[in-house]
Amino acid sequence: MGFWYNPHHITWLIDMATVFLMGVVHGITPDEHTWPITFSYSIGSYSTRGGMRAGLLFSLAFTLQRAIASELAYFALAGFLTRPGAEQVVYVVVGIVMLLSGYFILYRNKALHLIPWLERLMPPLPGQGSAIPVRLALVHGFIAGWGTGAFATIIYTVISPHMPNAWVAFLPGLFYGIGTMVMQILIGAAFGSWMDKRRLEAQAKAFIGRFVAGSTLLFGGVLFALVGGAELALPRLSEWAVPTGLHVYNLDSINVALLLIIVVVGGIGGGSMWVAFRKVRA
């Protein structure tokens, strides 16, 4: 009984509930580190179960990264994790991984025989009637997790450093990741279910899934890398924002990150889906 009356433990439990809810909000609102990846692999899986798996694998690696970063923040490394330019470097790295993944999904069977050693390092690509290799989302999740934002800053600079000891310092990042995971699984299921309900043959769904996922990752990755490079060269660009009046995380202002989501998911993803359906119906 003494456990529940210890104010330190009560604060600790409240902190865990808080970071979990922060993760839920992070997972459901449009975020440049989650939505483009989950959208791509969920559509590529063309099924509800596959979409859930895409959201799970991405957020599983994301959760692992946040738990590690939370532990590092406890040891006074938060300054390194939130230093200026770190977010932009993550943009560039995520962009490169995205474009390479998209390239392999779209063109591996045709264009990589000139680099056989690199081809052997990649996971085997399924046949024309199969979904894309969703396990690549694990790589994206771990890298994307190093991006920072308002919630990550709160965890690294306020909550993690005040944990009781180093043995539990990883918990804020873990609970934040679990909250994100719950919503990413649901979002992935929604994307995959939508694709599954299209009245198309399995081979047509496979083509659309591969084309949309590959195109979104390839061209979205190029855009991510360009935006990251531009913000490194022009730091003020990352501070540009137009308030929307909405008191909702990630929707409270129009900024580069929100525009990036709209262009990648809505523009590139939606555009490539339109092209893919036209190809199939033709």
Tens digit of pLDDT per residue, the chain (282 long)?
333 334 444 477 788 888 898 888 887 876 666 777 777 777 766 677 777 887 888 888 888 888 988 888 888 766 665 667 777 888 888 888 888 888 877 776 443 443 444 445 444 444 444 455 666 777 777 777 676 667 777 888 788 888 888 888 889 889 998 998 888 888 888 877 877 777 777 777 778 877 888 888 888 889 989 998 998 888 888 888 888 887 776 677 888 888 888 888 888 888 888 888 888 877
pLDDT for position 119: 44
Instruction: Name, in order, each residue with C-beta under 8 angstroms of 186's C-beta and a sequence gap of 6 or more.
Output: 55
| 3-state DSSP helix/strand/coil % of the chain, to nearest 5 | 75, 0, 20
Neighbours of 109 (CB within 10 A): 11
pLDDT for position 81: 59
Q: How many domains does the chain have?
A: 1
Helix or strand holding residue 241 (H, E): strand 241-243
What values do phi and psi take at 241, rounded to 5?
Answer: -160, 145
| CA 188 – CA 184 distance, rounded (Å) | 6
Query: Which tokens in the block code for residue 3?
Result: 């456990």
Cα 259 to chain centroid, rounded: 16
Instruction: Name, in order, each residue with C-beta under 8 angstroms of 74's C-beta and a sequence gap of 6 or more.
Output: 160, 161, 163, 166, 169
pLDDT for position 124: 46
Query: Which tokens in the block code for residue 280?
Result: 């199939």
pLDDT for position 111: 39
| CA 60 – CA 66 distance, rounded (Å) | 10
| CA 97 – CA 105 distance, rounded (Å) | 12
DSSP sequence for 196-237: HTS---HHHHHHHHHHHHHHHHHHHHHHHHHHHHHHHH-GGG
| CA 278 – CA 165 distance, rounded (Å) | 58
What single-letter amino acid sits at 129? G
| CA 66 – CA 162 distance, rounded (Å) | 16
Global pTM? 0.69
Helix or strand holding residue 254 (H, E): strand 253-255
Give residue 21's domain range: 2-281
